[in-house]
Structure 1
C-alpha cells in the first residue's frame, strides 16, 4: 500500500512537470521612464481595474488574481473602470495607444469571451499584444510608471493549470 501511494504521488508530479509549458512575451512599448513594476499574484487573473485622466492618459491599473487584488501600478487617480471576468474567462489581448514622449494613452483588454474594457484616449502609436500560443492567457503585466501615470507596458502570456488535489492554480 505504501509503495502504491508513493508511486501515485511520483506519477502525478511527473505528469504535472510534463504538461505543455507555453510562454510568450509582448515587448514593452512607451518611453520607459519611472519605476519598473511587474504584477504578481497566485492563480488566474479574475478582474482588472484601470484609472484614466478624463480625456487624457492612463494613470494606473490593478489586477485581481483569484480573490486578491494586487497593488496599484501607476496611480489611483481619475476615472476608474473595472472588468470582472467570468469563471474560465481569461484576458487574451491587450491593445492601446502610447506616446514615445510621455504616457500610455489607451488600454483595451479583450477576454476569451469577446468582452472588452476600454480606457483612455486613442492618441499616439498603436500596439497590440496577444499570446503566441492558443489556449494561453495573460499571466502578468510589467512596465514602468512615474508619479503621473504609466509610461511603458509589456505583457507576459502562458497557461494556467489546476494544481493537483485542490482549487489553487499553478502558473507555468
Structure 2
C-alpha cells in the first residue's frame, strides 16, 4: 500500500516506520525542513528501542521517505494518516489547529479516492470536522466529483515499547461509517 503520514512526531514517526517495516511504501511529511533533512540523513530525533534500525533499513530499501512536499505525498498515496500534535490550550481542550490545517492541505491537493485516517489524540467529533474541511476545499476547487472516506484509528503506544506496541497490538480500534474503509484498514 502507498501511505502518506502527515506529522513526524512520536506517533507519526513510529507509525510510519512500522508501516514501512510491514512492506508498505510510506512518505512521512512534516513542515519542519530541518527535521526532514536530519531524518533523510539518518538522524532520528527521538529514542525508541528498535526505531532507528527500522528507519534506516526501510529508507535504504526505498519503502520509507521523508519530505516537506504534502501535495506529492498525498497525490501518490491511497491512505493519508494525520498524526500531528494536539497540544492542550489554556482551557485544557485539545488545540486542533494542526489537525484541521492538515485536513485543509489534503483537500487542496486531493486528486483521486483516498482514505484519510486521524491518528492524533482528538476529541469526539473531530473526524467529522476533518471531513467537512476536506469537502469545503473540494467544493472551493469545484471538485465535488472526488470521493474520499475518513476514519479514526487512535494510537496506543507507550514510550519505551512503541515499536512492540505497534507491531503486536493488544487491541485495534477503528472508527468509520464506511464498510469499505474498515475492510481496507
Q: What is the TM-score with the length of structure 1 in the denominator? A: 0.26
Q: Which has the higher contact order (CA 8 A, sep 6+)?
A: 1
Greater strand share, 1 or 2? Answer: 1
TM-score (structure 2 length as normaliser):
0.25
- Please identify which structure carries the higher helix content: 2
Structure 1 or 2, whichever has the larger Rg, is 1
